[in-house]
């Protein structure tokens, strides 16, 4: 006789008992409105990400997309453009039925971003979806436009009363760059927060959506062996490198206005620094994680004009050789002014002045047209206090170095001293390697898949908060200002090299840059 099976009843109030154990948690019904819907980012990243979410069954139960861009085109024409973008850039070949289903929920609204009638037409589309659904749908406005339009769109959304929707959540997702100076970032924050509450604002730094960056938190806080060493008593220096072997390609207009420091250090590399230096958050919630990151940024003193030449180096690539070919210098690149003073290389030495890190230099460097493409964090430990076998010949003994590689081959490498086989106690450094790709079956989702889902779910953990952005600018702004007013000739480095010789001047005695 079968015994009646009585299950302990999970509480029906509060959390949804049906979501326990599911890898994909439900996302509330949402309409996503993309401003700049025909731009490069939308075509290459956002639309393919949305398709892949649909393919995996990870979109909300009701999902609609409204594309907004300047040029007049019919809904059908925009759908055809979406289909082409997905076919060109999706990480997997699209399933025709899923693609057709996704596109059937796409509408297009043409017009300029300052035109109030655009917002009336957007609202009409949103109302139409809701009428069909019979319930209020969450709204996410994705600003994938040139930065000059961010405040224009946000204020127009406010004027059209689209910043709030009864019975549903309204969110605004803002692409980088969030300001190009401290004053600009503060002004943008002021204008955005005059319309939206901070809890509604999702500032994208797509680096945070990368599995590799999220893995850093797992590495530090899920492994007991590193944290006891993770402080000034054992760590001698930290070096963060984001090197590219390519030039600026077709991005001259953007890049010449931005430069290396704004392009990578102000956002991505300071995020990496925060992940290395932050205290363990009490929980993996948006506020706890971001509070810890902001504390790190606040611990980095704002550079003074006198300090900047000692702690920051900038340079520009000259003609050289890359990949076996002769390549032009930055000023010879198409679209770059012949007298451009924009840096294509930037290196900083920062101090995190808190109990854990006082006295440990954090070296950051990034550049175009360097010897190799690599993004890594190298943590150098202090040398051992005494070598018992130094008399036997241990010149090869080097301090342990832990290298977290983010790309191209994500992994962790630990440099250890080992005895060379033979009769004498002679030591040389060897590497213990771990490659993430060898240990997982799954393919990493694209950063934008994760970030779009999180924004639709209202989880801001992987997004940059207003005070975080401003704290980043407090560090970078004085440097940009000093460089822009400098009358000195901008140092040059040969394309395909390790970067400018001047970068060595940042290093503390005994330190050296890792080979790129």
Partner 1 sequence: MPRNDAVWSASDTTPDAIEAAMRELLVQRHAENAAYVPARVLNMLVFVDDAWSGEVANRLRGVGRYHASRVIVLSFDPRRGRIDAQASIAADDAAPGELTLLRETVVVRIGPSHLDDLPTIADPLVVTDLPTLLWSPHGHTEEADTLIGLAQAALVDSIDEPVWRAAIERACSLSERVYVVDLAWLRSTPWRERIAGAFDSGRMRAELDEISSVRVRHHPSSTVAALLLVGWLASRLGWTTSETRAAQHDGGSRTLTGSATTGAGEVALELVAAPELAVPGLASVELATASELRLSLDRGEGGLRARQRERDGSERTWTLLGASRGESGILGEGIRQALLRDPTYRPALKSAQSMLPHTAAATAPSPTA
- Please give the residue ranges that form the binding site for partner 1 (CB under 8 A): 1-10, 12, 16-24, 26-28, 54-57, 59-63, 95, 97-102, 132-135, 408-409, 435, 437-443
Contacts of 126 by beta carbon, 8 Å cutoff, 6+ apart? 31, 33, 66, 137, 139, 162
DSSP class of residue 258? Answer: H
Q: Give 64 or 365: the residue with its C-beta nearer to partner 1.
A: 64
Going by their DSSP bridges, the two strands 492-494 and 312-318 should be labelled as: parallel
Q: Give 20 or 509: the residue with its C-beta nearer to partner 1.
A: 20
Cα 331 to Cα 260, 282, 335, 370, 483, distances in angstroms: 15, 49, 9, 16, 18
Shortest separation between residue 6's beta carbon and partner 1, angstroms: 4
| 75 is annotated as an active-site residue | no
Q: Give 105 or 181: the residue with its C-beta nearer to partner 1.
A: 105
Contacts of 161 by beta carbon, 8 Å cutoff, 6+ apart? none
Q: Give 370 or 490: the residue with its C-beta nearer to partner 1.
A: 370
Among 64, 206, 268, 314, the one annotated catalytic:
268
Q: Give 149 or 219: the residue with its C-beta nearer to partner 1.
A: 219
Shortest separation between residue 48's beta carbon and partner 1, angstroms: 14
- Going by C-alpha positions, the residue among 236, 239, 223, 220 that lies closest to residue 384 is 236
- Going by C-alpha positions, the residue among 472, 451, 449 that lies closest to residue 203 is 451
Contacts of 26 by beta carbon, 8 Å cutoff, 6+ apart? 16, 19, 60, 61
b/e sequence 297-328, b meaning 16+ C-beta within 10 Å: bbbbeebeeeebeebbbbbbbbbbebeeeebb
Does residue 407 sit in helix, strand or coil? Answer: strand
Going by their DSSP bridges, the two strands 401-407 and 361-367 should be labelled as: unpaired
Shortest separation between residue 447's beta carbon and partner 1, angstroms: 19
Tokens for 83, please give them. Answer: 């289909």
Shortest separation between residue 222's beta carbon and partner 1, angstroms: 15
Q: How far apart are alpha carbons 465 and 203 in whole angstroms?
A: 7
Q: How far apart are alpha carbons 415 and 432 in whole angstroms?
A: 6
Q: Give 291 or 413: the residue with its C-beta nearer to partner 1.
A: 413
First to last CA, the chain: 71
Shortest separation between residue 16's beta carbon and partner 1, angstroms: 5
Shortest separation between residue 339's beta carbon and partner 1, angstroms: 35
Q: Give 409 or 486: the residue with its C-beta nearer to partner 1.
A: 409
Q: Is 179 left (phi over 0), alpha (psi -120 to 50) or beta?
A: left
Q: Is 219 exposed, middle or buried (0-12, 13-18, 19+ CB in 10 A)?
A: middle
Shortest separation between residue 409's beta carbon and partner 1, angstroms: 5
- Going by C-alpha positions, the residue among 323, 230, 228 that lies closest to residue 275 is 230
Shortest separation between residue 136's beta carbon and partner 1, angstroms: 10
Q: Give 112 or 409: the residue with its C-beta nearer to partner 1.
A: 409
Going by their DSSP bridges, the two strands 345-351 and 138-143 should be labelled as: unpaired
Does residue 351 sit in helix, strand or coil? Answer: strand
Residues with a catalytic annotation lie at 268
């Amino acid at each position: 006789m079968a015994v009646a099976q009585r299950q302990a009843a999970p509480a029906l109030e509060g959390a949804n008992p049906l979501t326990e154990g599911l890898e994909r948690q439900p996302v509330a019904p949402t309409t996503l409105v993309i401003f700049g819907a025909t731009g490069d980012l939308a075509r290459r990243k956002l639309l393919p990400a949305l398709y892949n979410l649909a393919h995996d069954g990870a979109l909300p139960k009701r999902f609609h997309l409204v594309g907004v861009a300047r040029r007049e085109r019919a809904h059908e024409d925009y759908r055809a453009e979406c289909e082409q973008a997905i076919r060109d850039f999706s990480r997997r070949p699209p399933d025709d039925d899923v693609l057709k289903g996704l596109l059937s929920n796409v509408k297009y609204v043409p017009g300029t971003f300052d035109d109030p009638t655009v917002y009336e037409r957007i609202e009409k589309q949103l109302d139409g979806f809701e009428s069909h659904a019979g319930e209020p749908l969450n709204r996410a406005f994705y600003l994938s436009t040139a930065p000059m339009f961010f405040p224009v769109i946000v204020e127009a959304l406010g004027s059209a009363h689209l910043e709030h929707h009864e019975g549903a959540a309204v969110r605004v997702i803002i692409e980088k760059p969030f300001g190009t100076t401290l004053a600009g970032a503060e002004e943008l924050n002021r204008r955005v927060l005059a319309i939206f509450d901070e809890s509604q604002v999702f500032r994208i730094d797509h680096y945070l959506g990368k599995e590799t960056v999220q893995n850093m938190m797992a590495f530090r806080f899920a492994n007991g062996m590193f944290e006891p060493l993770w402080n000034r008593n054992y760590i001698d220096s930290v070096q963060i490198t984001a090197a590219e072997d390519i030039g600026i390609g077709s991005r001259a207009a953007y890049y010449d206005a931005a430069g290396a420091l704004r392009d990578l250090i102000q956002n991505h590399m300071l995020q990496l620094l925060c992940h290395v230096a932050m205290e363990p958050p009490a929980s993996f919630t948006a506020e706890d994680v971001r509070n810890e990151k902001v504390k790190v940024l606040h611990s980095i003193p704002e550079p003074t004009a006198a300090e900047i030449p000692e702690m920051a180096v900038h340079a520009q690539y000259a003609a050289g050789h890359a990949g076996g070919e002769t390549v032009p210098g930055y000023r010879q690149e198409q679209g770059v002014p012949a007298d451009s003073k924009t840096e294509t290389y930037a290196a900083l030495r920062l101090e995190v002045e808190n109990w854990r890190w006082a006295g440990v230099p954090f070296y950051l460097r990034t550049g175009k047209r360097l010897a190799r493409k690599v993004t890594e964090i190298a943590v150098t430990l202090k040398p051992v206090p005494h070598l018992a076998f130094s008399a036997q010949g241990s010149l090869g003994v080097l301090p342990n170095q832990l290298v977290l590689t983010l790309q191209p081959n994500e992994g962790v490498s630990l440099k250890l001293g080992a005895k060379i086989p033979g009769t004498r106690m002679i030591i040389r450094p060897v590497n213990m390697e771990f490659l993430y790709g060898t240990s997982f079956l799954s393919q990493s989702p694209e950063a934008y898949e994760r970030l779009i889902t999180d924004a639709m779910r209202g989880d801001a953990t992987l997004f940059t908060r207003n005070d975080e952005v401003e704290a980043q600018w407090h560090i970078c702004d004085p440097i940009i200002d000093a460089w822009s007013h400098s009358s000195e000739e901008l140092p040059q480095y040969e394309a395909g090299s390790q970067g400018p010789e001047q970068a060595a001047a940042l290093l503390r005695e005994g330190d050296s840059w890792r080979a790129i």
